[in-house]
Amino acid sequence: MKPHLAIAILALLAGAPSAFAQQAVSTLPAVSENKVDTDTFSKTFVSANRFEIESSKLAGQKHVAADVGDFAALMVKDHTKAGQDFKAALEKSQTTASIKPEGPPPLLPKDQAMLDQLKALDGDAFQAKYITLQTEAHKQAVAMFSTYARSGDDPALKEFAKKTLEMLKMHEMHLRDVAAVH
């Protein structure tokens, strides 16, 4: 084999893993790093917030470690309040986002799939998956809330995003501590 051809093949092979890694699909719908539209922000928040509450209530019913149970109780409390704060912000909002805050909001397919995964598990398997899914969900939420707080187009929802972002970051830190123990 000619040296130039061998070098070209090696260069292609060296770049292959990173090319495949870039094909990962985001679980957030239509959220770019620079801008999140109000409708996407609203729908994603409502679904993700419901997932946080329902999955954490489920953790309260499963046999989990005390610290995981404490975290789950905090999630129910904080995300219930976040839902109330969102409803208040929506009432002040100028948006025409198609969100109906009355009644239980629908889950987006990704959130329903995560909840279904948790429902099928018990014990240590549930606990491990709960911690993993909460970590992923909070990472995505922090990214979306940071973006909307910075570049959102509705003042009331932008303020809500700024206030809620701090809570989400605290949850992320708490999750790191819980994950380190388990």
Which amino acid type is present at position 135? Answer: T
Q: Tell me how crowded residue 27 is: count the other CB atoms within 10 A of its CB.
A: 17
Rg (CA), the chain: 20
Q: What is the pLDDT along the chain (182 residues), one digit of tens a residue?
A: 443 333 333 333 333 333 333 333 344 444 445 789 999 999 999 999 999 999 999 999 998 999 999 999 999 999 999 999 999 999 999 876 656 556 677 899 999 999 999 999 999 999 999 999 999 999 999 999 999 999 999 999 999 999 999 999 999 999 999 999 99
Give dist(CA 104, CA 34) in Å, integer: 30
- Token output for 110: 């990704």
pLDDT of residue 6: 34
User: Residue 29 carries which DSSP code?
Assistant: T
Q: What is the pLDDT of residue 23?
A: 33
In this structure, the number of other CB atoms found within 10 A of the CB of residue 106 comes to 13
With CA atoms as reference, report the closest residue to 182 among 121, 131, 138, 135. Answer: 131
d(CA 115, CA 109): 10
What is each CA distance from 132 to 68, 113, 153, 178, in whole angstroms? 12, 14, 32, 11
CATH superfamily of 34-181: Ferritin, core subunit, four-helix bundle (1.20.1260.10)
